Structure 1
Amino acid sequence: MVTPSSPFSFLDDFINRVGSRLQPPDWVIHEVQHRAVLFLNHVLQQEPEAQQRLARQQGRVVEFEWRFVTMRVVATPAGLLDLAPEGVAPELMLVLAETSPFGLARAAVRGEKPAVRIEGDVQLAAEVNWLVDHVRWDVEDDLARLIGDVPAHTVATGARRVVEGLRQFVGERGGKPAGSAGDE
């Protein structure tokens, strides 16, 4: 959550005001969701155990919600995801409790999972949680296909160092509000 004294509170308020008023056309939303599903499937294909788990959940619909964004996906027999057909009731709803994009970014940098409100099938929720905990995108492998192994390893190592530095910075600053005694 962005605190009132946070330098991002102005931006957070601005995003809330603009985001609630401006809605992209339906075709843009569908296209972005389709691209998100393609990316998720790419990541899932790198983990056979994840595909086996999803294949056992075939036909089941999960709805993700964050602020004014909603996306429904269905598990396919191949153990991948597809956009759920319109009007299909979800068996599991996952709603991100953190509304601030900066709060989500902070949690991601710290390596924390955001708070999620869960409604629906407990077994399906456990499978989704397993996927979140165990499936990771191998960025270095994908980058190596484009630029080669050595440059990809160098870029990935540099990125890991930057992320670790951000984690340390956010961890040090996370518990202290601006203007507290520790800032002097």
Structure 2
Amino acid sequence: MATQSPFPFLDDLVSRIAGGLKPPAWMLEEIQRRLLLLANHVLMQEPEAQSRLARQAGGTVEARWRLFEMRLRITPAGLLDLAPADAQPDLTLSLSDVSPWQFAQAALGGARPPVHIAGDVQLAADINWLVEHVRWDAEEDLARIIGDAPAHAMGETMRRMMQALRRFAGGSGDGPGQAGA
């Protein structure tokens, strides 16, 4: 059951702002490059993920949501790079036109938003495998910098905050007094 935003005017406002304001191209490219750095960092910690992507080397994936679009080229090393703007995508992933509120609510609840998939079936299967199996262990990365105990404490704090956000958004969360996974 989809829950409506308690503030429908905010959805309308966000749509109007997003339609009228568009960041400059250089800013979008820099944001995309930072996202790629994070994605490649996570992929480098998963040899199976890199192996699956390496089999798809040269393939281009386009991801879309509302006005946002990103084209990625798969490298021979099984990592990702920005594809040229004129590159034809082998696979297109389009998030359905859900409001930012619904998108955030689904993400907090652990659900995936509806996605329209068009293109190479094998590439789509490999991308789906990545979505299902690859996770960023931020706590492990943080432990390399500040040590195990402080990283674990910060991780536990973040898990509790996420549980509270899930309960607030109406998603499934542990009840009061129960520990999170």
How high is the TM-score relative to the length of structure 1? Answer: 0.87
Give 1:96's aligned residue: 95
Tell me by how many angstroms 1:95 deviates: 0.2
Deviations 1:130-181 (A, max 9, x none): 0001000101011112221101001111211222333344137xxxxxxxxx
One-letter code aligned to 2:86: G
In structure 2, the partner of 1:171 is: 171
1:112 counterpart residue number: 111
Maintained 8 Å contact 2:108/2:171: no
Within-5 A mapping of 1:44-59: 44-59=43-58
Partner of 1:28, secondary structure, is helix
What's the % identity of the aligned pairs?
55
Match of 2:63 in 1: 64
Return 5+ residue gaps in structure 2 as ranges. 173-181
* CA distance in 2 between partners of 1:21 and 1:92 (Å): 29
Looking at structure 2, the residues matched to 14 and 102 of structure 1 have their Cα atoms a distance apart, in angstroms, of: 12
The worse-fitting range, judged by mean Cα deviation, of 161-170 and 37-46 is 161-170
AA of the residue aligned to 1:55: A
1:13 is aligned to 2:12: yes
Pair 1:123 & 2:127 matched = no
Count of residues in Structure 1 that have an aligned counterpart in Structure 2: 170
- 1:25-48 per-residue CA deviation (whole Å, 9 max, x = no partner) reads 111111111111111101111111
- Distance in 2 separating the partners of 1:98 and 1:148: 42
Conservation of the 8 A alpha-carbon contact between 1:52 and 1:79: yes
CA distance in 2, matches of 1:65, 1:150: 39
Q: C-alpha displacement at 1:86, in angstroms?
A: 2.1
Q: Which runs of 4+ in 1 moved over 2 A?
A: 164-169
Residue 2 of structure 1 deviates from its aligned partner by: 6.1
TM-score, L = length of structure 2: 0.88
1:38 aligned counterpart, secondary structure? helix
The structure-2 alpha-carbon separation of the partners of 1:25 and 1:166, relative to structure 1 and needing over 3 Å to count, comes to closer
Per chain length, whose mean CA-contact separation is higher, i.e. which structure has more relative contact order (CA < 8 Å, sep 6+)?
Answer: 1
Letter in 1 for 2:115: V
CA distance in 1 between counterparts of 2:130 and 2:69 reads: 20
Following TM superposition, by how much is the alpha carbon of 1:99 offset from its aligned partner in structure 2, in angstroms?
2.7
